[in-house]
Amino acid sequence: MTARPARLGLYIHWPYCARICPYCDFNVYKAAHAQPEALLDAMLADLALWRDRLGARTIHSVHFGGGTPSLMAPAAIAALLETADRLFGLAPGAEIGLEANPMEHERFAGIASAGVERLSLGVQALDDDSLKRLGRDHDARTGLAALEKAQALFRRVSLDLIYARETQTPESWRRELETALGFGTGHMSLYQLTIEPGTAFERKLKRGALTPPPDDAAADMYALTQEVCASAGLPSYEISNHARSEADQSVHNRLYWEGEDWIGIGPGAHSRVGAFAKDGRAGGAAHRRPELYIEGVKSGDGHERERLDADAEFIERLLMGIRLTEAGLDVERLAALTGLRPDADGLARMRAQELVLARGSTLVLTERGRAFADHVAETLIPDFDA
Ligand code: SF4
């Protein structure tokens, strides 16, 4: 199999949020403690260090995540994009995306002028009680007004919602989803609420103060999400992501799921480069605490580095690739890159249980299998010591 050059993405992590949501396990810090100028300087310097390390490469997508990057000054966004373009070159039509909080809607025009063309809007829920329980500082009216504003200003918009929330039923989720679909947005990210270790929600759950819907109701909500979105013309192209057309899909996220290359700047940002190198894949993460990252970059690095061996690379590519509900996981490509194949017995079991099917050299989750993606992926991992 001939290796083609990997595409390169740039992830920019802005770690500050106005307040910390009780379900969030990202690398986030309260904006009240932000050092925005020092962090921007470090990010610009980090870009130059990456350019020295990688040599000439073209960037195919840029994604501002966080945290709340819609809190960034538009001039800071523009400075990062201009520097990335000067040092690397942005491919014609490169995706430039940013995650936004509806509360920052007054900044949207400035963000669009800075060069962002795709906005992912964290509306999260369409009822005020749920938004309160999720610890969000916007109400449903503000969320929807921000959505309309985003759709007027940006070429592409993703509407992001969370379901399987406390007090939610499949019926109430269906109504909410249908209302959301009525806005005609080209992309929706629909995430099932999970209680992550170390979060305020986990502590609440442990003391009996949080009651998520039972597993079967959550599974029903997942199934109806697929059905309602598909019949509205937004089928899933990844477990939690739905798009009206291929042009509406997230180029940057596809780059992760397809195991391409990406560099990350900003506190805690991950990177993977050299996807097709013979001696494994270079991985790493920037220091998580903003002050350590800033100091690290000043001293010439700011990242912890590792080299992923074939086993680690196989697992990562399997876990990510199986999530692509349409494109699926190309087993021959995986074997060409890592020298490893899915466990034959595990694959036979998953096929017999109709959780996965083979289309030529590609494995695709069945509709039922999508609800058990992690289980399927784990079953396909071979025993590397055998
Ligand atoms: S706004 Fe987003 S990143 Fe910030 S704490 Fe809430 S969920 Fe986490």
Residue 147, SS3 per DSSP: helix
pLDDT in tens, 376-385: 999 999 988 7
Q: Which of 17, 70, 161, 201 to mutate to test the pocket of ligand 1 (most atoms within 8 A of CB)?
A: 17
What would the two tokens of residue 173 be?
Answer: 């989720």
Range list for CATH 3.20.20.70 in the chain: 8-254
**Boundaries of CATH 1.10.10.920 in the chain?**
310-386
**How high does pLDDT run on average in the chain?**
94
Positions of E strands within 29-155: 29-30, 59-66, 90-100, 118-124
**Ligand 1: distance of its center to the CA of 24 in Å?**
6
70 in contact with ligand 1, CB cutoff 6 A: no
CATH code for residues 310-386: 1.10.10.920
The answer to whether the CB of 334 is under 6 A from ligand 1 is no
Dump pLDDT digits (tens) for 247-264: 999 999 999 999 999 999
Mutate to test the pocket of ligand 1, among 12, 26, 71 (most ligand atoms within 8 A of CB): 26
For 99, 131, 152, 199, 318, the CA distances from 66, given in Å and listed in that order, are 8, 19, 24, 16, 25
pLDDT tens digits for 205-228? 999 999 999 989 999 999 999 999
State which ligand 1 atom lies nearest to the alpha carbon of 17. 4
CA-135 nearest atom, ligand 1:
6
**Which pLDDT band, with edges at 50, 70 and 90, does 310 fall under?**
confident
- 3 vs 373, residue with greater confidence: 373
Q: In angstroms, what is the span from residue 309 Cα to ligand 1's centroid?
A: 33
Best CA proximity match to 329, nearest among 293, 365, 295 = 365
Q: Please indicate whether residue 31, judged by its CB atom, sits closer than 6 Å to ligand 1.
A: no
Does ligand 1 have an atom closer than 6 angstroms to the CB of 98?
Answer: no
Average pLDDT (299-324) is 92
Residue 357 pLDDT > 70:
yes
- How far does residue 17's CA lie from ligand 1's centre (Å)? 6
Helix (H, G, I), strand (E, B), or coil: what is residue 225?
helix
Looking at domain 8-254, which of 3.40.50.720, 3.30.750.24, 3.40.640.10, 3.20.20.70 is its CATH number? 3.20.20.70
Between the CA of 80 and the centroid of ligand 1 the distance, in Å, is 22
Give residue-wise pLDDT tens across range 275-303.
Answer: 545 667 889 999 999 999 999 999 999 99
Phi-psi region of 343 (alpha: psi -120 to 50; beta: other; left: phi over 0): beta
